[in-house]
Amino acid sequence: MLNVEDLRGALIVSCQAHGDHPLRDTSMISALAQCAERGGAAAIRADGPEDIRSIREAVSLPIVGIYKVARGSRFFITPTLEHAREVVAAGADVVAVEATLEYRPDQGDLETLIRRIREELGVPVVADISTFEEAIRARKSGAELVATTLSGYTRDSPERKDPDLDLVKKLAEASVPVVAEGHVRTPEQVGELFNRGAHSVVVGTAITDPVTITSWFARAARSKL
């Protein structure tokens, strides 16, 4: 089992593309992961067995695997043990599961899922949360790490455009190992998240989504007209 302490201080790059995105091709996702490795990333976060398998064949970095399932207005992250089993079989070293009260309100269900992933699949678990209370619950349920991935995306956490610095700081002060993820756009924000006590930081869009990155620059250009 991977020691999550090996990820302390790490930059984790999320390599994902969905729907009709021009990069929605397994070979493209693998190429993004290879770029991240060459650039100095310490780990990759990726969605689904096909992409994870392709990345595993191309890079030597640890992979945080997830399995997104569409539900309502957003995805449900790794809903079941079988989803977790598929991403581990594809090469994931860590599994991230959703631990929000919105989509996983049953405490016993969460504890059972985390325990079975750890015991049966032999990998550590990252719990994706949106609030402080969810993070504490996830740690008590056995998750090695919690991630602020869903801050701003649930009914219990207001929509946001910037990293949740306060949540990261509050969790770090409570001795909860927290992976800062969500809305990270600049190297300066990465540094600030580590200053607030983040165990590691995930950056996705700002590194791996040229469509969105271009829109940021285009918006700035239009504002000067």
Q: In the prediction, which pLDDT does 223 show?
A: 87
pLDDT of 160-176, one tens digit each?
999 999 999 999 999 99
| CATH architecture for the domain at 4-223 | Alpha-Beta Barrel (3.20)
Q: How far apart are CA 17 and CA 47, in angstroms?
A: 9
How many C-beta neighbours within 10 Å does residue 1 have? 11
Asked whether residue 225 carries a pLDDT value surpassing 70, the answer given is no
Token pair belonging to 54:
């392709």
Determine if residue 15 is left, alpha or beta; phi over 0 gives left, psi from -120 to 50 gives alpha, anything else beta. beta
Q: How far apart are CA 189 and CA 75, in angstroms?
A: 25
pLDDT of 172-205, one tens digit each?
999 999 999 999 999 999 999 999 999 999 999 9
Give bridge partners of residue 77 from the DSSP assignment.
Answer: 68
Q: In the prediction, which pLDDT does 72 show?
A: 87
The percent of residues in the chain predicted with pLDDT above 90, rounded, is: 97
Q: Where are the domains of the chain?
A: 4-223
The whole model's pTM is what? 0.96
Summary mean pLDDT of the chain: 97
Token pair belonging to 175:
């001795």
Question: In this structure, which amino acid lies at residue 156?
Answer: D
pLDDT of 9-33, one tens digit each?
999 999 999 999 999 999 999 999 9
In 129-190 the beta strands, taken as DSSP E runs, fall at 145-147, 178-181
Is residue 185 within 8 Å of 206, Cβ to Cβ?
Answer: yes
pLDDT of 83-102, one tens digit each?
999 999 999 999 999 999 99
Query: Residue 42: helix, strand or coil by DSSP?
Result: coil
* DSSP conformation class of 167: H
